[in-house]
Amino acid sequence: MKVCIYGAGAIGGWIGVKLAQAGCEVSVVARGATLQALRQDGLVLRHGDTRTSVPVKAAEDPAALGVQDLVVVAVKAPALAAVAERIAPLIGADTMVMTAMNGVPWWFLSGGFGGAHAGKRLAAVDPQGAIAAAIPDRHVIGCVVHASCSLDGPGQVRLHFGNGLIIGEPSGEATPRVQALHALLQKAGFDARLSAQIQKDVWYKLWGNMTVNPISALTGCTTDLILNDDLVRGFISTVMLEARDIGERIGIPIAESPEDRHAVTRKLGAFKTSMLQDVEAGRAVELDALVSSVRELGQLTGVPTPFTDALLGLARLQARQRGLY
C-alpha cells in the first residue's frame, strides 16, 4: 500500500514508522529541516531504549509523490487549510484520507450524522468550505489517536505512552476499505479499534481536551495542578456539562460525569498538554477545533454555553496577544 504522511510531526512520524515496518511504501510531505533530515536519516522512532529508523521518500511538493492509497493528515488544525490547498495530487478516485488530528473535524456532521444538523458545515473549522471541497467526504476515514509523542528533532519522534488508534467511516458503516485499513493498522502493531460511530469517539476525547488544553495554555500548569485546584476543576466540570448537553442533542450522549473523566486524566499523571507545548514553542493554537467548534455546535442545537464562551474568550485573548491565533 502506498501511504503518504502529510505532517511529519510527532504523531504523523509515529504512524509513518509503524506503517513502513508493516511493509507499506511510505512517503512524506515535508519542508526545510524536516525534509533534509528525512532524506538523510529517514523517519526515526524512539521508545524507551529502542531506536527504529525507516527510509521514506520525502518531498516538498505533493505532486512529486503522486496518487496514494492512504493519506494520513496529521497536522495541527490551524495548518489544515494550507494542506487542503496542496493535497490534490495525492488523492485519486479510491484514496482514503485518514485524519489523525485533535478536536472537531470539518467532516463531523457528514455521513448522515447529526440528526437535524446532518450535512451542515462548521464555520469554526472550515469557514469557506475550502477543506471540504479539497477533501470530499467520500475519501475521509476518521481517526482518534490515544498516544503521547514528541519530537527530539526534525524527523526524530519519541513515543512516551499509548498505542491506540480508533478509526471509522463518518457514516458508521463497516465498509470493506475501513475493515482492510483496520487490519493493516493491527498488523503494524497499533492497538487499533474499528468504531461504529467515530464522531462519538472524537467527542469523548474532545470532552476532556477542550478544557484542560486551553486552561493549561492560560496558566502554564500541568494537568495534575489544574485538576488539584477545586475552583478550576469546578469550572472545567461546568464547561463539560455544557458539551455533554450538546452531545445528547446530536446523538452522542455521554453517560459519565465530569468527575469520571477527570479520573481518567489523573491516571496519565503530570504532563503538559499539546496546547501548552504549542504556546511555549510559539506555535499557533488549536482553539477553533477544540473550543470554537463546541460553541458553534451549541448555537446550532440551542444549548447555552456561557462557560464555554468564557473559556474561549480568555484563551483567544491570550493567544492573540502572543500572536498565536
Query: For residue 31, what pLDDT band results from cuts at 50, 70 and 90?
Result: very high
Segment (H or E) for 59: strand 57-59
The stretch 166-189 carries a mean pLDDT of 98
Average pLDDT over residues 1-22: 96
Q: Is 223 part of any domain?
A: yes
How many whole angstroms separate alpha carbon 8 and alpha carbon 73? 9
Domain count, the chain: 2
Does residue 325 form part of some domain? no
Task: Give the mean pLDDT of the chain.
Answer: 96
Whole domain around residue 75: which residue ranges?
2-196
Residues 275 and 314 in one domain: yes
Residue 175 to residues 19, 31, 138, 244, 319, Cα–Cα distance (Å): 21, 35, 12, 29, 41
Look up the CATH number of the domain holding residue 32.
3.40.50.720
Q: For position 268, what pLDDT does the model report?
A: 85
Residue at 79 is within a domain:
yes
Q: Which of 187, 205, 267, 272 is catalytic?
A: 205
CATH number, position 294: 1.10.1040.10
State the number of CA atoms in the 13 A half-sphere of 126 facing the CB.
Answer: 21
Report which of 292, 284, 298, 293 is spatially closest to residue 313, judged by C-alpha positions: 292
205 as an active site residue: the answer is: yes
Q: Are residues 168 and 221 in the same domain?
A: no
DSSP at 116:
G
Residues 168 and 48 in one domain: yes
Give the pLDDT band (50/70/90) at residue 271.
confident
Q: β-pairing, 50-54 with 191-194? A: unpaired
| Residue at a domain's end among 168, 196, 224 | 196
Can you tell me which residue has the cell 497536522?
75
Residue 42: per-residue pLDDT: 96
146 assigned to some structural domain: yes
Report the pLDDT value the prediction gives residue 204, as an integer from 0 to 100.
95
Point out the domain boundary residue: 172, 196, 220: 196
